[in-house]
Amino acid sequence: SLGSDSAKAERMFRLMDGFLKNDSISLQQDILRHVEYTVARSRFNFDDFEAYQALAHSVRDRLIERSHDTQLYFKRKDPKRVYFLSFEYLMGRSLSNSVINLGIRDQYADALSQLGFEFEVLAEQEGDAALGNGGLARLSACQMDSMATLDYPAWGYGLRYEYGLFRQVILDGFQHEQPDFWLNFGNPWETERVHVTYPVKFYGVVEEENLNGEKCNVWIPGEVVEAVAYDNPIPGYGTRNTITLRLWAGKPSDQHDMEAYNTGDYINAVVCRQKAENISSVLYPDDRSFQGKELRLKQQYFFVSASIQDIIRRFKEAHSNFDEFPEKVALQLNDTHPSLAIAEVMRVLVDKEHLGWNKAWDIACKIFSFTIHAVIAEGLEKIPVDLLGSLLPRHLQIIYEINFKFVEELKKRIGLDYNRLSRMSIIEEGAVKSIRMANLAIVCSHTVNGVSKVHSELLKAKLFKDFYELWPQKFQCKTNGVTQRRWIVVSNPSLCALISKWLGTEAWIRDVDLLTGLRAYAADPDLQQEWMMVKKVNKMRLAEYIEAMSGVKVSLDAMFDVQTKRIHEYKRQLLNILGIIHRYDCIKNMEKSQRSKVVPRVCIIGGKAAPGYEIAKKIIKLCHAVAEKINNDTDVGDLLKLVFIPDYNVSVAELVIPGADLSQHISTAGHEASGTGSMKFLMNGCLLLATEDGSTVEIVEEIGADNLFLFGAKIHEVPKLREEVSPKMPLQCARVIRMVRDGYFGFKDYFESLCDTVDGGKDFYLLGSDFQSYLEAQAAADKAFADPNKWTQMSILSTAGSGRFSSDRTIRDYAEKTWGIEPCRFPSDG
């Protein structure tokens, strides 16, 4: 007999021969075993993709071991946990990142080469997990990596979209969207937890019932959908801790369907079951403009309800008294998208746990924190009351109740200032009565964070001024950061090795402040020489990719000037293109003898436009039309090339960023909440050409204004410039716009409305007034590039100053100042 539990465990451990081993033979055996039994191919005959699948499964086995250890350890220690609720995650590929964080990349590379495969080639087989749009979503992914690495007891929650962000296909220079059915070939990283499912209710009515003499609300739903958990392991670097990103998928609920079957309409009942899966089927591709769509609201509640049920179940496993809830649980709202969680927590505590309103509210106010990633009021989510009332009738009542109590309290504090009361109310009156999700989040959260210093100040001075005056202590700043594991170690192995060599340690991979140690060698000719070599190799890799994608051959001696990010008017890709036209025009009009003085450039632009964003799509087309003209002009040759990189995503970014000499972050001041792309370029020793917006202001503090190229109006100057009745259009800007209007690049009529945004009298994004200063910054960049040693020194100083922009710093700050959690490290270095 097996006897006691520990004897049982001991025997099982022996039967499995301990943990998986990481020597070369064991890894080879594991990979072949997965070829034969998981992928079900013969181990004598399998291709690169099948080899990748087998490899991924063998890595997954190791991740699962660690994630079991971590969860058991958390369970035993029962620390306060943070639950990170985000509607979007841009994870990209997982293979390289996982083996690097597990510390067994070289062992795998060796094992594969013994089998006749190359690690890098197999890693290329993996598709991106693109369950998000842009900055906010990639930030969530970076922060998960930091939470795991810093041993925080954290969980990520999100939605398992079957279709991620659309694939961008360019036809004749126009963007077309194609579905990204990323699960087509299976997803080796996830584990479906068939037993971790929760019913999620929708529609129906609320009835008052009498429970032991007390009135109580009972929600009788009209539809129930089951949420099933898919767990994705997130390994930390230099630790055994492996945390979990739990994504929910929709699944038909048997409970609800019984009735349909009983009515005899079998076929219809089966067809209806399919509807459940639709909830998690597709990611909305608009990253800013908000539309009050029912499916979107359904997605939000579905994800929130399943997550809250899961969190409460875990709490109840170890505790019976909800007074302890705030000591054990922190809930982080990543923007307003998950803020229905507030109403849901209240519903569960009041209607199901019968805690009473005041006690429930007291608990809710202690657990929620909220981070906002937007700058302008128009982008904030507003849910029409009618929509919410029909989909979630009980939640609407709860939000009304929260608002009623809040407004009553407010009246006591500020008196009957009706304008202010109506601005602060969670309910917006008007043609379409709606719920202001940001107001709901602020009222309940103990902390409201901005994502850069200037953004946090803007929130206090503008967007949430009224709330700041009421609750100044709630408002904090957590400047964004990115993970150096993904953005240097995985994507730029040569730079990684060079940094470790000169610092004499790899410790910077966990302790990124050590990068400042590079400052001492910034002028060292040997380091500079090696640094340039690394950049050259990365430029070569990028040049090959550009040629393969666009057929354009580019010179490695040229400055690679990159602007890759979502296409938005405020990000001003149009300013970049107008600047390129100006450069082209100058070269064309130059004496031939002068041309040798021109610093050659390869201008690279990439990014997706939201499918319904017409102006952004025109910017993409203009880029292609200009590229067509320039790249085929023999007068210009290698002095200027323009390429658009299609379908920009995380894995393309990993290739582009290390190969960039210069990158542009040129939003109209006051529009970019933070910007995180700039941080990735900075880490990779790329010089920035930027406006003083978002986190650039802090980058300047770190590396000094001499080490980047700043230009343009400052935040406080923008309102005044906008007020000018007819904005000044400098001659040079007017001239390039005229070229577009005159059809120099074709598509005359099509570009008309695009030109109007600049010279049509409004120029809201101030391209005209910033144009001159933009050209000056570009000229300064040319001048610096012409002196390779100077440039390389600036490049080294950029990397050396990038430590503050690691998500490790951001996450430590959140843990200490917002969530009140501590590391909980599995006691082994394994």
Of residues 454 through 473, those in contact with ligand OAK by CB under 6 A are none
Size of the site for ligand OAK (CB under 6 A): 19
- Pick from 468, 609, 493: which is nearest to 106 by CA? 493
Q: Is 300 in the site for ligand OAK (CB under 6 A)?
A: no
Q: Which is nearer to ligand OAK, 197 or 674 (CB)?
A: 674
Of 656-685, binders to ligand OAK (CB under 6 A) are 672-676
Name the residue nearer to ligand OAK (CB basis): 49 or 764: 764
Sequence-distant (6+) residues with CB within 8 A of 4 are none
First and final C-alpha spacing in the chain = 32
Binding characters for ligand OAK, 480-509, by CB under 6 A (x = yes): x-----------------------------
Closest CB to ligand OAK among 58 and 133? 133
**Should residue 374 be labelled a site residue for ligand OAK when binding is judged by CB under 6 A?**
yes
Do 510 and 238 form a contact (C-beta atoms < 8 A)?
yes
The residue within the footprint of ligand OAK, chosen from 134, 173, 393, 450 (CB under 6 A), is 134
Q: Which stretch binds ligand OAK (CB under 6 A): 131-139, 159-167, 216-224, 728-736?
A: 131-139
CB of 676 to ligand OAK, least distance (A): 5
Which range in 109-117, 270-278, 371-379, 627-635 contacts ligand OAK by CB under 6 A? 371-379
CA distances from 157 to 46, 312, 371, 809 (A): 36, 14, 16, 22
Name which of 446, 416, 652, 461 is nearest 549 in CA terms: 652
Pick the closest to residue 483 from 62, 100, 3 (CA basis).
100
| Nearest-angstrom CA–CA distance, 174 and 155 | 40
Member of 50, 226, 287, 344 binding ligand OAK (CB under 6 A): 287
Burial of 393 (0-12, 13-18, 19+ CB in 10 A): buried
Binding mask 532-571 for ligand OAK (x = CB under 6 A): ----------------------------------------
Q: Can you tell me whether residue 94 is helix, strand or coil?
A: coil
Question: In this structure, what DSSP letter does residue 695 have?
Answer: T
Judged by beta carbon, residue 374 or residue 643, the one nearer ligand OAK is: 374
Which residues are the active-site residues?
A: 373, 565-566, 571, 676, 680
What is the radius of gyration, based on Cα positions, of the chain?
28
Q: By C-beta, is 528 or 676 nearer to ligand OAK?
A: 676
Strand partners for 662: 561, 687
Round to whole Å and give the CA distance between 301 and 279: 10
Residue nearest to ligand OAK (CB): 135
What is the smallest separation between the CB atom of 615 and ligand OAK, expressed in angstroms? 17
**Would you say 326 or 606 has its CB closer to ligand OAK?**
606
In terms of Cα–Cα distance, which of 204, 199, 201, 198 is closest to 220? 204
- Please, which of residues 422-451 interact with ligand OAK by CB under 6 A? 451
Stretch that binds ligand OAK, among 19-27, 133-141, 214-222, 597-605 (CB under 6 A): 133-141
Amino acid at 175: Q
Among 131, 139, 435, 686, binds ligand OAK (CB under 6 A): 139
Closest by CA position to 570, among listed 666, 497, 462: 666
CB 368 within 8 A of CB 441: yes
The encoded tokens of residue 588 equal: 């064309």
C-alpha separations of 460 from 55, 380, 468, 518 in Å: 50, 16, 5, 37
CB of 479 to ligand OAK, least distance (A): 10
- Tell me the window of 93-101, 130-138, 439-447, 736-744 that interacts with ligand OAK (CB under 6 A): 130-138
The reply to whether 335 sits near ligand OAK by the rule CB under 6 A is yes
What is the Cα–Cα distance from 118 to 473, expressed in whole angstroms? 54
Q: Give residues 178-207 in contact with ligand OAK (rule: CB under 6 A).
A: none
Q: Of 109 and 141, which has the nearer Cβ to ligand OAK?
A: 141
Residue of 135, 235, 250, 326 interacting with ligand OAK (CB under 6 A) = 135
CB closer to ligand OAK, 374 vs 627: 374
* Helix runs in 369-429, H state only: 385-391, 393-414, 418-424
Q: Is 113 strand, coil or helix? A: helix
What DSSP character marks residue 596?
A: G
Residues 690-749 that bind ligand OAK (CB under 6 A): 694
Nearest approach, Cβ of residue 371 and ligand OAK (Å): 8
Q: Cα–Cα distances in Å, from 696 out to 64, 451, 598, 674?
A: 39, 12, 28, 8
Sole window of 107-115, 135-143, 157-165, 807-815 interacting with ligand OAK (rule: CB under 6 A): 135-143
If the CB atoms of residues 376 and 497 are measured against ligand OAK, the closer one turns out to be 376
Q: How far is the CB of 226 from ligand OAK (least distance, A)?
A: 28
- H helix runs in 572-667, sequence order: 573-588, 614-631, 650-656
CA distances from 677 to 603, 712, 811 (A): 17, 19, 18
- Contacting residues toward ligand OAK, per CB under 6 A: 133-136, 139, 287-288, 335, 373-374, 379, 451, 480, 672-676, 694
